[in-house]
Chain A
Amino acid sequence: IHFILLFSRQGKLRLQKWYTTLPDKEKKKIIREIVQIILSRNQKTSSFVDWKDLKLVYKRYASLYFCCAIEDQDNELLTLEVVHRYVELLDKYFGNVCELDIIFNFEKAYFILDEFIIGGEVQETSKKIAVKAVEDSDMLQETVEEYMNKPAF
């Protein structure tokens, strides 16, 4: 996987994880381009888009689009499963996750992703273990109060 993007239906970025090195300007340009491409696709199309020399695999969950860019030899159908697994992890951690959870706890979303994928490859295939690692790490935080108050929206 080269990068993962999460964005809303209005095109607002909610998470960006890059596994390749690119200049900031370039990243912004790519994000704009891809968001436009995916938002303009209708329901009847497949979940795969050929883009430059990569393949984009995307899926919409409620109001959020999850998009992965994979290489030519990667398995698109499996990538859909990867995306789905990430959503399941978020759901298990937050309990019935919704977009607001990810907005207000974006750093947690990153932590969870980092327990699932490293360097663009899956590191853990067990839901239980991945989520437990994040929860155990949470326990290590010196003050739970610190900046992680779960606010009432």
Chain B
Amino acid sequence: MPAPIRLRELIRTIRTARTQAEEREMIQKECAAIRSSFREEDNTYRCRNVAKLLYMHMLGYPAHFGQLECLKLIASQKFTDKRIGYLGAMLLLDERQDVHLLMTNCIKNDLNHSTQYVQGLALCTLGCMGSSEMCRDLAGEVEKLLKTSNSYLRKKAALCAVHVIRKVPELMEMFLPATKNLLNEKNHGVLHTSVVLLTEMCERSPDMLAHFRKVRQLFSQLVPQLVRILKNLIMSGYSPEHDVSGISDPFLQVRILRLLRILGRNDDDSSEAMNDILAQVATNTETSKNVGNAILYETVLTIMDIKSESGLRVLAINILGRFLLNNDKNIRYVALTSLLKTVQTDHNAVQRHRSTIVDCLKDLDVSIKRRAMELSFALVNGNNVRGMMKELLYFLDSCEPEFKADCASGIFLAAEKYAPSKRWHIDTIMRVLTTAGSYVRDDAVPNLIQLITNSVEMHAYTVQRLYKAILGDYSQQPLVQVASWCIGEYGDLLVSGQCEEEEPIQVTEDEVLDILESVLISNMSASVTRGYALTAIMKLSTRFTCTVNRIKKVVSIYGSSIDVELQQRAVEYNALFKKYDHMRSALLERMPVMEKVTTNGPTEIVQTNGETESAVLETKPPLSGLQPASQANDLLDLLGGSDITPVIPTAPTSKPASAGGELLDLLGDLNLTGSPVSAPAPQIAQPPFLLDGLTSQPLFNDVAAGIPSITAYSKNGLKIDFTFERSNTNPSVTVITIQASNSTELDMTDFVFQAAVPKTFQLQLLSPSSSVIPAFNSGTITQVIKVLNPQKQQLRMRIKLTYNHKGSAMQDLAEVNNFPPQSWQ
């Protein structure tokens, strides 16, 4: 068999291949030759063959059959063999391979070899990819080498020790004695790796950290020692061996600064000991080249992280400010990153650089833009909000799509916190909706609607602007949804042409209906949007005067829509026209001002979905506004039939503004027994609960003795228990507390519980305790339901559960019929 071709020959040959197929053919041929050569146990050419194999591996071809050959090479006495063998091991024999551990003995022997370069190979291999078992076995050898006087080996042993500690942290103690005099070396390689080792130990173990802060190393404590070394580096003259652009060993300087950072963190004494040197480095380092800036950057990070004096901190932030003005993008990038970290703690100092930061919004680099955006949001406050918003809105206009959602959310948040005036706030929202309307998050829509209702004096202005916005373009769903809702609510203001803030436009009722109908018909409209539009049209039936017939026609057409949601709504509205016309105007009256809900809270919409009677309305405008959220409709589905009163699942909230009043009246019609039906008036201010108005708080103190609880639902690991309480003061009220638990091994998230009761009952759902049911029955969700059962009928309930489990959305309907008689009689 002829000698296998040389490595370089192979490389040259393969490079002549003109197609992928040709290359593959060559490679396969060569692999076959190599394989047979391996089978023949050829010692002479094994090295050459493995080298070729490694080349082919880099091209992406499989090379696993060479693993054992690498082991044989490592075990060989020839240095050439070892060199390639270890290289092959590092490329092919990581710890996931079965034969990995077979290396251990070879490495052990080589760690004790007479030639330092062989020892070096072994240390390098162990330090790059040794497995935990291997590290455990060989840690002792490494520790020995850490104490040798040979600096070539010592530096490698130090990094090997770092790897061992990373793999097997328990072995850290073992290396402690050897660290005693590591820093007394003159050799920079050893110094550098020693600092790395000390850093690793301090980062991993607070005990170690404390130890190093206090205990005297050989000759002195660690911090002063490091300070001295650093000082020497800065002050010493030109040293050609370690010089980089006029700076002496920047790698070592940076590592020392990083170790100082860890030592000084939360420690006053250590921090004080380093104040001077940090100031010195910060002021004396040459900044014309990247290397100087690298050192300054690390210095700034250290200053900000330790307990430095304020003068030093200001110095650091000013350095960052200078970085921001640097032409070099990389420098601007690190400056923004660092400022982002410090903006919370040193807010005022960072504010001074606000205009530079805002300029970075216009940078071409994506990462710089993102950081500038985040930083800008962090810097917005009451004083600069107008200016900042202008810049941010401009940014929203022109930035890449991946930013738009975050930017829009950020603008909404900032606007809500610092809006100088309602009009400004609404204008800003409008601007966001029109420029980035399709990127706005879904939850922004209800927030905006709530905001709009709260600005009573701006209603006319708002609806006018919204109308104009969708006239041109109704493809951006969030915008269209908000606009539809507003037009539905305030359409009368729109056509009456009253607007104080700007020139009122002339709009006829037909034109308004035109646009709403276009939204309904358009292919671009999502199902949810169509729902909004249809409801808006319905509401206008009480606000418009001339076009009621048109509205009736539209509504009846959609009674046979394919979209079930639309169909449902249309059928109900039709029913309103036909059978309940006397209730229509009350039901569709203006929504009251909603309670403000913090945007950070888990609850969102305060909208209460109520069907209410306007019969005895005295004080506040009634809670009207038919906003049949899909919840209500689903529940109607649950109970079937068309004569059912929609339930009021006020799941997200516990403050239906003035709902109490009207329902009281409703209940008044139903012959409540025994409870003082107080006038609706007082409801407005407080009691959150619908039925609380009937009785004095707290409701539950008068608990009827022990009503047995039931398991209402148990399926797929989800169990829901009902416990009951009756109030003595109002026997028609039953309070059910549900507890949902999860016996599977994965959490159930986004859990929503809905319930519906037959017509003669009234039901109110309060906020659940959370939306996640932890696995293994380790926690529950609780939720309170109040049922009013004035006719003392047998309690029946249909429940609907939706949640996410094991990555899929689950949904179930069930009927609960096993209520104990004591709960309703």
Contacts and interface: CB of A to CB of B under 8 A. Distances in A.
Contacts of B8: 104, 147, 149-151
A111 B156 CA distance: 14
B79 A75 contact: no
A122 B364 contact: no
B48 A46 contact: no
A30 to B, nearest CB: 13
Interface in A50-108: 50, 75-78, 80-82, 85, 103-104, 106-107
A15 to B, nearest CB: 7
Nearest to B191: A125
A107 B79 contact: no
Interface stretch (B80-88, B103-111, B222-230, B275-283): B80-88
B159 A121 contact: yes
Contacts of A36: none
B468 interface: no
Interface residues of B, number: 73
6 contacts: A16-B58, A104-B11, A121-B159, A121-B196, A149-B8, A150-B8
B333 A123 contact: no
Interface in B68-113: 78-80, 83-84, 87, 90, 94-96
Given A142-B78, A149-B8, A121 B297 contact: no
B95 A141 contact: no
A118 B244 contact: no
B80 A118 contact: no
Given A119-B128, A123-B156, A128-B241, A46 B329 contact: yes
B124 A45 contact: no
Interface string B148-172: 0000100110011011001000000
Contact of B366 (A21, A45, A133, A141): A45
A106 B58 contact: yes
Given A48-B333, A140-B117, A142-B78, A149 B189 contact: no
A40 to B, nearest CB: 11
A75 B254 contact: yes
A114 B124 contact: yes
A118 B297 contact: no
B553 interface: no
A59 B96 CA distance: 31
B331 interface: yes
A126 B241 contact: yes
A33 interface: no
Given A46-B330, A111-B87, A125 B80 contact: no
A77 B258 CA distance: 14
A136 B258 CA distance: 33
B54 interface: yes
Contacts of A23: 96
Contact of B189 (A19, A75, A129): A129
Given A44-B365, A81-B291, A111 B189 contact: no
A78 B298 contact: yes
B297 A77 contact: yes
Contacts of B166: 119
A124 B155 contact: yes
Given A14-B58, A137-B79, 4 more contacts: A16-B58, A48-B333, A81-B244, A111-B83
Interface in B281-295: 290-291, 293-294
Interface string B472-499: 0000000000000000000000000000
A47 B79 CA distance: 39
B330 A47 contact: yes
B80 A123 contact: no
B398 to A, nearest CB: 16
B242 A119 contact: no
A125 B252 contact: yes
A80 B120 contact: no
B234 interface: no
Interface residues of A, number: 56
Given A103-B11, A124-B155, A78 B250 contact: yes
B249 interface: yes
A28 interface: yes
Nearest to B59: A13
Interface string B395-429: 00000000000000000000000000000000000
Interface string B115-142: 1010010011001110000000000000
B251 A146 contact: no
A147 to B, nearest CB: 4
B6 A121 contact: no
A147 B6 contact: yes
Q: Which of A76, A125, A128 has the most CB of B within 10 A?
A: A125
A80 B330 contact: yes
Given A118-B156, A147-B51, A45 B115 contact: no
Interface string B524-550: 000000000000000000000000000
Contacts of A34: none
A19 B250 CA distance: 23
Contacts of B331: 77
The 9 closest A-B pairs by CB, nearest first: A77-B294, A46-B329, A118-B159, A151-B8, A119-B163, A124-B189, A78-B294, A119-B127, A45-B365
Contact of A50 (B192, B291, B367): B367
B393 interface: no
A101 B250 CA distance: 29
Main secondary structure of the interface of A (DSSP, over half): mixed
A85 B247 CA distance: 14
A127 interface: yes
B193 A123 contact: yes
Contacts of B555: none
Contact of A45 (B94, B123, B293, B329): B329
A10 interface: no
A81 B254 CA distance: 11
Interface in A1-33: 13-16, 18-19, 21, 23, 28
Given A106-B55, A140-B115, A77 B162 contact: no
Given A50-B367, A121-B196, A137 B117 contact: yes
A12 to B, nearest CB: 8
A78 B333 contact: no
Given A81-B294, A110-B87, A46 B368 contact: yes
B208 interface: no
B213 interface: no
Contact of B251 (A15, A82, A103): A82
A142 B79 contact: yes
Contacts of B94: 18, 21
Contacts of B293: 77
B334 interface: yes
B60 interface: yes
Interface string B320-353: 0000000001111110000000000000000000
B7 interface: yes
A147 B193 contact: no
B715 interface: no
B249 A118 contact: no
B96 A21 contact: yes
Contacts of B160: 118-119
Contact of B6 (A14, A127, A149): A149
A111 B90 CA distance: 11
B117 A136 contact: yes
Contacts of A142: 78-80
A126 to B, nearest CB: 5
Given A147-B7, A149-B8, A122 B251 contact: yes
Given A75-B298, A78-B251, A125-B189, A13 B333 contact: no
